[in-house]
Each structure stands twice: as C-alpha cells, then as structure tokens.
Chain A
Amino acid sequence: KNEVEQSPQNLTAQEGEFITINCSYSVGISALHWLQQHPGGGIVSLFMLSSGKKKHGRLIATINIQEKHSSLHITASHPRDSAVYICAVTGTASKLTFGTGTRLQVTL
C-alpha cells in the first residue's frame, strides 16, 4: 500500500462544476502539499498546509490531521483547470512522498 493515496485517479467534469480530489496518507507528517502538473509537463506548487484550510482564488485545500486526509476543491471549474493534481506529504526525514496524481479534465 502506498503511503499516499489519491482518489479518484481520473475525473471528468463539465465547466462550472464543483470538484473534489481526495488524498489519504498513512504516515506521520509535518506538512501536506498540493501540486498541479500541466499537460505540457510543468509542475507548480499550489498549497502547503499543516492544519485547517487554505484558499487561493477558486482553489481550496483542507486537511484533517486526525483522519490523515486532505481534500482539494475547485469551485466553478474551467477547462484551463485540466491538469494532473498531485498530493505529497513531508514525512520521515523531511522528505516528500508523492501520490500518483489525479487526472482532471474539464469540458465545455
């Protein structure tokens, strides 16, 4: 079992829909990261959080430390949100462990 599990693996949504991507982890962590990988391959950090909730534009990330679970929400989704969203945790020895990603496609 991977230390970081994401669900769903693939997600298709229509423009305007509210989207939720989930991340569960099995190890003790000091922080959790959400990253976005564009279709061209570039990877960008979206959030780093250790408790509660963070919001940036239409993106919201939450974390529940007790349940070892985080969610990434996208409100009013748009085709430009189409990307792979990657969850990662800062665990042992402060190294990052990555999930395999959730591929999101938003259609018109």
Chain B
Amino acid sequence: DAGITQSPRHKVTETGTPVTLRCHQTENHRYMYWYRQDPGHGLRLIHYSYGVKDTDKGEVSDGYSVSRSKTEDFLLTLESATSSQTSVYFCATSTDLGREQYFGPGTRLTVT
C-alpha cells in the first residue's frame, strides 16, 4: 500500500456550504488525483496534480478546486456544495502519469 489516507471518511453537509477534503500520502509520489465514483459511471477524474502548486483539470472539474502546497497533501474544495456533488471521492497517487495508481480509502460525501 502507498500509505494514502483521506479525511474525513464520511461527511454530511448542506447545500451551499464549502467543503474541503484532504488526501495525505507518505510515499513521495509526484502525481496525485481526485476522482468521484457514482453509480452507473466509472471513476471520473476531477483534478490532478503533477507537483507542488502544479495542478490541472480533469473531465468533471466544474464546482471543484484543488491545492497542493506540500508533496504529501492534496486538498479538494467544493466551493458551494450542491446535491449533484453527493458522491464517493477517491484520492490516488502515482509515480508518473499513466502508471499504476494507488488509491485512498475514499470519502463518502452527502449534500442535503
């Protein structure tokens, strides 16, 4: 295991509130990713990072922002949560783009 933790593991929040999810890794992997997993869809990339302060958008980035101030931490922020952002969020890391990815345990977010 790549030593990836996510916090919180579960969160319930109200529509319109900001929410920040944290991903922490101990493997010094350069790349970090945020995905969401919804029924009927495969994992979908929200944002990814290729280094400290270097991030790029994925296929479902609207309504989300990210920050990476340290190699080990990658934060995902929902600027104003909506019910459509109710999902399970996974963080992943890899040594290089396209290589094997190591996943965190997931965060179940419910927006009421």
Contact = CB atoms under 8 A, between A and B. Distances in A.
A13 B99 CA distance: 32
Contacts of A96: 43, 45, 98, 101
Interface stretch (B22-30, B60-68, B72-80, B102-110): B102-110
A100 B40 contact: yes
A31 B105 CA distance: 24
Contacts, number: 50
Interface in A1-51: 2, 4, 30-31, 33, 35, 41-45, 48
Given A95-B48, A96-B43, A98-B43, 4 more contacts: A45-B102, A45-B103, A93-B97, A94-B97
Interface of B: 40-45, 48, 58, 88, 90, 92, 97-103, 105-106
